[in-house]
Amino acid sequence: MTPAPTAIRIAIVCDYFLDFVGGAQTSMRQQELALTAAGHEVVMISASRFSRPRVSHALHEVRLAPVATLPGLELPVIVNSSRTRATLRAAFREHAVDVVHVQTEFGLAHAAVDVARELGIPVIHTVHTFYWASDGPWWHRLVEPLLRRSLERITRAEIPASALSPRPIDNLLRNLTLGMARRVDAVISPSAHQARDLADARVETAIDVVPNPIASPTTPVDAIGADREPRFLWVARCEPIKRPLPFAEAAVRALEITGGGFSVDFAGDGSDRAALEKLVEGHPLVHVHGALDHERVLELMNTTSIVVLTSVGFDNQPMTIAEAVSRQRGILYCDPKLREGLLHAGHLAPSPDVAGLTAAIVDLVQTPGLIEQLSRGAAQDGEQFLPESYAESFASLATRVRNGHRPV
């Protein structure tokens, strides 16, 4: 493709494996599609699953080999070393990069900022989560100093020590994110509530709110009508922070109240999966699929009636919401801080506990026309996730930063 006259050459930098199914990875791939379709050039720089760096000039991809991968988390460790910086320096020059767009906060991202500073390239940081959360066992307080020193060695950057969470590891990771946001020329938050929290944490750079885009073509979806049995889809990592068990218990109760008036699909794997399967055992209208690839998840979403999001205080702007409304699906949710994509398509549970979720399910199943109304609302809410809107917002921000002006 011949670049547009105002084309920007962008390096998207990510410490993660891009083939891992996660919201941040999905967002970055959708950004790439949106920006490329608008005539910009994108080079994707991330971790490689192979033992040596891989460079594909045809695909505009650079993959750096990690020194280790944390088991269970699928988190590659790339050190901000002279070797890493040399690889990035060559990539930025090879692709004549105009803007470096970091989307993580570990060693590779910090190396990218160091090299960008050296070469005089402006840096934009998209914060995918400021809400790192764990179960906070007592021994976290003991290992936090060691982990802090390790992260500072990996990133070659001092981590702030602001009081952001009472849980030591969560506080450390949130400070890691804060430190990156303070290093760059501009910050993007996909949600307004996260932008406010970053500003409250003293990120002095103005923060642009730019929702995650959906740029992949949407395949035909089943029509939602009053004559079809409602079908709910819960999709996320099957971990306590995503709260699959309260929703499963609520679904079982609601099935009893409605006489089996709906079905539920759970998609995702994690530490709560065994407990989830045990909780719904003997309920044929509840299906636990475990881990599914992204295409299979979208196939399920295309045939569902309501997508369910049950996290509270953890999510920024979930890609699940963007994907749901792009398919004209309503969303059952229970975190009142979430806004983007939910104005017309969202159904907020009266409370996030089992009782509140049960009431919300029953309401959706038994209120005539409610699911259809949310589906129509999704068509309105989906406009903010259009790829053209994302590309225009990003290009405007990048142009201002390149011209030496901070966003206002």
pLDDT in tens, 330-367: 999 999 999 999 999 999 999 999 999 999 999 999 99
344: left (phi over 0), alpha (psi -120 to 50) or beta: alpha
User: What one-letter code names the amino acid at 367?
Assistant: T
- Output the pLDDT for position 228: 79
For residues 382 and 26, give the distance between their C-alpha atoms in angstroms, rounded to a whole number: 17
Q: What per-residue confidence (pLDDT) applies to 52?
A: 56
- In this predicted structure, what is the pLDDT of residue 136? 63
Q: What gap in Å lies between CA 297 and CA 23, rounded to an integer?
A: 13
Residue 346 region by backbone torsions, left for phi larger than 0, else alpha for psi between -120 and 50, else beta: beta
Determine the pLDDT at residue 232: 98
Q: Residues 6 or more apart from 104 whose CB is under 8 A from it?
A: 13, 14, 15, 16, 24, 128
pLDDT for 28 equals 96
User: Which amino acid, one-letter code, is at 84?
Assistant: T
Q: Are 257 and 357 in contact (CB under 8 A)?
A: no
User: In this predicted structure, what is the pLDDT of residue 216?
Assistant: 85
CA neighbor of 354 nearest in space, from 262, 284, 256: 256
Structural domains in the chain, CATH included, are: 9-213+386-402 (3.40.50.2000), 231-384 (3.40.50.2000)
pTM of the model: 0.90
C-alpha–C-alpha distance, residues 90 and 70, integer Å:
28
Contacts of 27 (CB under 8 A, 6+ apart): 103, 126, 128, 190, 212, 213, 319
Q: Which residue has the tokens 């159904």?
A: 347
- pLDDT computed for residue 130 by the predictor: 96
Single out the residue of 236, 193, 201, 127 nearest to residue 337, CA to CA.
193
Q: According to the model, what pLDDT value does residue 218 have?
A: 74
Written as six digits, the tokens of 54 are 């891989």
Q: Is 218 exposed, middle or buried (0-12, 13-18, 19+ CB in 10 A)?
A: middle
Which stretches in the chain have pLDDT values below 70?
1-5, 51-59, 135-138, 220, 225-227, 405-408
Q: Quick one: pLDDT at residue 138?
A: 66
Q: What whole-number distance in Å separates Cα of residue 100 and Cα of residue 82?
A: 18
